[in-house]
Every structure is written in C-alpha cells, then in structure tokens.
Chains A and B, each alone.
Chain A
C-alpha cells in the first residue's frame, strides 16, 4: 500500500510521520504542496506543523494550495483515506472537508504534553480502549454548532476524547471523521508515539487502525 506525506511551507512533523507509516509497511512518498496527482496513493497524510506560519489562521492558506484541490476530488471519488494531524486537522476544517473550527486554547497557552485519550469509535479502533499520545498546539480548542456536534456523536464520528480536557475543546473532542469515514482529523500526534525510541507506541495502533480503513 502507498501513502503520501504532504509537505507545505512550514510543515515540521513530516519526517516522523514518514517513519511511522514506513513502520507499518506503507510505501511512503513525500509530496510537495503544489503536487496534484494523488491517484497512486491509498492514504494521504497532512502532517503537523505551522503551515505558512499560521499567520492568517492555522490552515487558512494551506487549504488553497493545489494539493488540497486534489485532496478534495480524491475524497469525492473515495480513492483512499485522508488523515490530518494537528495542523493537518486544522487545514481540513478550514477547507470544509471536516466540520467545525479551532479557537485558541482556552487558557491561552501553547500546550505540549502527553495526554490520556478515551477511544470513542471502537469500530475503527477495534483493539484499543485508551491511548496516551502527545499534543502540541496553541489552537486546539475545537468548536462546532450543536447540530453538527449531535451528528458527530450519533454517527460515531468522534474518534477519541481527552480524558482531561486540556484546551477547552467542545465535548473534549480530540479527533473526528467525516460522514463517509474517508477523512480523519486529530489533534494528538500518533507519529510521536510510533518508533521504538518513543515514550510509547500507541500512535502505531492509530495508524494501523486507519490503514484498515483503506478499502
């Protein structure tokens, strides 16, 4: 199976994401943000970082890059799955591929720490109940309207929640998917818990579960 790690100006989690995907036997390529041919890939990952400095809003400029136009048609055609991690998640909400938006963390600080997560969707994450993963963000306070929130909860589209809400995120949401379950977004960094020298390997379980979603 082939995976692509998209690199925008200001992406900085691309290398670990590449290694994590390689660890679960993906054939991985880096692709630059002006690349548009995604047909060969089974999974597209938008990694974390600070695309375009987050100067306008996190993800606001990246969403207009040529690769994101192709990501849109890739998901429409249901060619494979798209995973946004941290800044990648923010790019997906800005582009409308996932609902909602991000506010500054409730207490205004940049948070970088290991957090406990409760797995909400056990159909996707069949073999895990709890996860411990790193978060590292200033704008992780996920918000959306009541109607969307209700849909996310009812349709099993909330992937995981923080056990102790670190950033004010509504319903303690840490990750969601779209209704077709081919676009996934999460604030925690599974790639930082994927290699033997990391604190744990919980992230690998996340990538493996997502790999199983590829039809």
Chain B
C-alpha cells in the first residue's frame, strides 16, 4: 500500500532563530500583531509499506534520525490522504 505523510520540523522552545525574529519584527512594523513566530520545515512524501503501522514506524525513525536534530528540533508527523 502507498501511504502519504507530512513531517513538520520546528525549533525547540527557547532556541533563538534570527530568521523568525527578523520576520516577526517586520510583520509588526506592517501592523500585523504577531507574537511567537516560528519557522519550520515541512517534508511531504509517499512510501510503499505493508501496513499503515509499518509506514508510520519508518517515517518516525526517519524523522528522528535524519529530518530533525534532536538537540535543537522537534517534529510532528501526519498521515494524509492523497
């Protein structure tokens, strides 16, 4: 079966990201009252696996080991219909 996933990776709370800070500061200058802006990465992909559990297991391992750096980042994974 073919399964599709979206993995979101974002910085842990308290990790300073100069890009997010610059964007937030300038959005405020444009009168958008935003707070706590974070920039993340999104990975969208599909894979073939025997079952949804197996697919989720593979994706979780990949997100932990490769797509994110546990020292700085956290991730969420989402199964999507395509």
Q: Say whether A143 faces chain B, with CB atoms less than 8 Å apart.
A: yes
Complex CA gap A94/B72 in Å reads 11
Cβ–Cβ < 8 Å partners of A30 in chain B: none
Q: Are A103 and B67 in contact (CB under 8 A)?
A: no
Interface size in chain A (residues, C-beta < 8 A): 18
Q: Say whether A166 faces chain B, with CB atoms less than 8 Å apart.
A: no
Interface size in chain B (residues, C-beta < 8 A): 11
Cβ–Cβ < 8 Å partners of B69 in chain A: 57, 60, 94, 101
Chain A, interface SS category = loop
Chain B, interface SS category = loop
A-B pairs with beta carbons under 8 A, tally: 32
Q: Which of A3-11, A104-112, A201-209 contacts B (4 or more CB under 8 A)?
A: A104-112
Complex CA gap A124/B22 in Å reads 40
Q: Are A104 and B72 in contact (CB under 8 A)?
A: no
Given the contacts A60-B66, A103-B17, A108 and B22 also touching, CB distance less than 8 Å: yes
Please name the 10 residue pairs, one residue from A and one from B, whose CB atoms are nearest each other, closest first: A108-B18, A101-B71, A101-B72, A104-B18, A101-B69, A57-B69, A108-B19, A108-B22, A106-B18, A107-B18
Question: Which residues on A are within 8 Å of B, measured CB to CB?
Answer: 56-57, 60-61, 64, 93-94, 100-101, 103-108, 143-144, 168
Can you show 13 pairs from A to B with CB atoms below 8 A apart?
A: A56-B66, A61-B66, A100-B71, A101-B69, A101-B71, A101-B72, A103-B17, A103-B72, A104-B18, A105-B18, A106-B16, A108-B19, A143-B15
